[in-house]
Amino acid sequence: MSALDTVPKLDPHALRNDFPILNSRIRADKPLVYLDNAASTQRPRKVIQTLVDVYENYYANVHRGVHWLSDQSTDRYENAREKVQNFIHAAHSHEVIFTMGTTAAINLVARTWGDQEIHACDEIVLTVMEHHSNIVPWQQLAERRGCKLRFADIRDDGQLDMEEFDRLINEKTRLVAIVDVSNVLGTSNPLPQIIKKAHTLGALVLVDAAQSIPHSPLDMQQLGADFLVFSGHKMMGPSGIGVLYAREQILENMPPFFGGGSMIRRVKLDGFETAELPAKFEAGTPPIVSAIGLGAAIDYLEEIGLRSIQEHERRLTKRTHLLLSQVSGVRILGPAPEKKAGIVSFVLEGVHAHDVAQICDRHGVAIRAGHHCAMPLHKRLKISASSRASFYVYNTDEDIDKLVEALIDAKQIIRRGK
């Protein structure tokens, strides 16, 4: 028996009942087919009810109060932090910093660790497949500090060019900032190999796990990355909540980002002393309800099992590749199904991506269209925009069939128009 045979198979039809929005009918009473999960996922009743429960029964500000409501909210808020710690297998709960999202977490690192540690002679290695959130903060850092950014290219099959990566990284490299899974190509990068190479040369590694953390297991103690960032809204949690994980020693050495309440131990007119981790990086009233909701989303994910989710998405990805390859004029972007996560981006010859998405919408099929906050990657691919279907636990074979039907209709509409 193979390892895959021991992974419990999830039932997307049963899970769909947990998501009220998936019962929606749109565009002349079409059933909703939601294939825009790389942008944001839907929420199960368990998460929705958790948010309602907090507001109705025990909401108050955390840490500062001595009354019962504050105690209840504080306990649940810190319990959510422990759930994140266990979910990513961090060594300590205080290595988990709550932020507004992935973008905020990367900016925090760039503005604190970056401003303190990066100098004009230093280099940061990125890739052309990065989301703008993992490009622009480093460009801003380069403007402030005068460091150099170097970008590793991809191969024609959509995978990272590891030979070029090995050439780019050197003794001047202070940081490698890299996406785990491309939000356009679905490419899964070889993180263990990249981290080992970076650490050998004394560089730190930041991993953008926004597209991977909800879909496959990550163990930070085994992986050894120095920073990890991700968002709650891409893993069935609320919007406005994200996570920065960093090793304890790194966080201890980093200066705080925002100043104000909660992040201080003592304030005098001539200065202040910072609080202990994690409060040092959580100034002001934190995202209390959103963090508790993220904890509920983690509970839901763990009930299903990340291995089961991963295998379900792999099957859907293979099916999508197979069916799209039978539609003339479709160019699928990125590597083969076995080399990617549950993201399938494509171009339909003669039809702009926005037109494709609008025609799909007429069929009730929600996909993404545009540059997906990855303009440099689209330039590398010699296209201005692409269409993207992305999958999650509640997507079915029938969803893929409806996507293909919509694409065939798009071709016919354009042909009639011409």
What are the catalytic residues? Answer: 373
Q: Where does residue 96 fall: left (phi above 0), alpha (psi -120 to 50 degrees), or beta otherwise?
A: beta
Q: What tokens does 223 get? A: 């992986």
Positive or negative: CA dihedral 228, 229, 234, 237: positive
Residue 241 near residue 212 (C-beta atoms within 8 A): no
